[in-house]
Amino acid sequence: MTDRRSFLRMTMAGAAGMLIAGCDRISQTLWGPDVLGKAEGLNRRAQALLSPSSSMAKEYAESDISPVFHPNGTTMPATPAYQALMADNFRGYKLQVDGLVSRPAMLSIDDLKRLDMRTQITRHDCVEGWSAIGKWQGTRLSAVLDHVGVAPQARFVVFHCFDEMEEDTPYYESIDLAEARHPQTLLAFTLNDQPLPVPNGAPLRLRIGRQLGYKQAKYLARIELVSSFDDIGDGKGGYWEDQGYEWYAGI
């Protein structure tokens, strides 16, 4: 009986081991992740069909706000440019907006406030699985885009950040124009009625209502409108995308 049981256990463990080893080998090939990644385009199209681009993320009540909004990723950018701004309490901060626009601009937080203000209490969902709810105040990205004038060739908005993930590898992200013009896409400067804390992305970060946390770039230095992001980073549209995560992070 014990023999049969241990035989059974060994057979099962062997089968599981072979299965996982096989999957690992497929994961290491060039074609495997590509084939599996075909689902990303399907997910994006299916979700756009089921949840149209105008659909709004749920906005919560003050009582739903997380006591602590967990900061993930970089919590203290070490670059000299950022350190200098922080030493001056971000008084000299200006967001650079350029690329395929008619009127490139340098915008201070006060400039942004004059353009537009929106407050939203939304949920932040990390790709790791956890969620937090925060109250964000910021300027709708659509107002900034209208201010600078988007050229017809522009297809994506790229967010360049102050923080470096590795040496000379700054964090960056990108979204398409439909997502950029969504009313809940904000350049946020406050969290829970306080100026954005450094761990959460001071002085300015991106908030997107309907995508995962890694899209919500912190420490924004520059916004660039492009027709393609092939030449930025490793060409996948973001720091985490270059590490194999999906560009479309609605799931």
Partner 1 sequence: MSTESLDGGAVSSVPRVVVPSRRIVYRHALPIRIMHWINVIALTLMFLSGLQIFNAHPRLYWGNRSDEGTAIFALGARQDAAGKMQGVMRIGKHEFTTTGVLGVSNGADGPQMRGFPSWLTVPGPQWLAMGRRWHFFFAWVFVLNGLCFVGYALATRHLQRDLLPTGADWRGIGRSIVDHLRFKHPHGEEALRYNILQRLAYLTVIFVFGVGIVLMGLAMSPRMDAVLSPMVEAVGGRQSARTIHFIIAWGFVAFVLIHLFEVLITGVFNQLRGMITGYYAIDASPGDPQPRAEEMPAESGPSEDRPHD
Q: Could you list the residues that contact partner 1 (CB under 8 A)?
A: 13, 16-17, 19-21, 23-24, 27, 33, 35-40, 42-43, 47, 50-51, 55-58, 60, 64, 66-68, 70, 123, 125-133, 209-212, 240, 243-246, 250-251
Closest distance to partner 1 from the beta carbon of 30 (Å):
13
Closest distance to partner 1 from the beta carbon of 19 (Å):
7
**Helices 31-50 and 2-28, packing angle to 10 deg:** 80
Shorter beta-carbon distance to partner 1: residue 156 or 162? 156
Closest distance to partner 1 from the beta carbon of 170 (Å):
20
Beta bridge partners of 139: 187
Contact by Cβ (8 Å): 149, 99: no
Shorter beta-carbon distance to partner 1: residue 67 or 80? 67
Contact by Cβ (8 Å): 79, 203: no
Strand pairing category for 105-107 and 95-99? antiparallel
Closest distance to partner 1 from the beta carbon of 212 (Å):
6
Closest distance to partner 1 from the beta carbon of 107 (Å):
28
> Residue 138's closest CA among 232, 241, 218, 199?
218
What is the signed CA dihedral for 227, 205, 242, 244, rounded to 10 degrees? -120
Q: Report residue 228 as tokens.
A: 């393609």
Shorter beta-carbon distance to partner 1: residue 49 or 103? 49
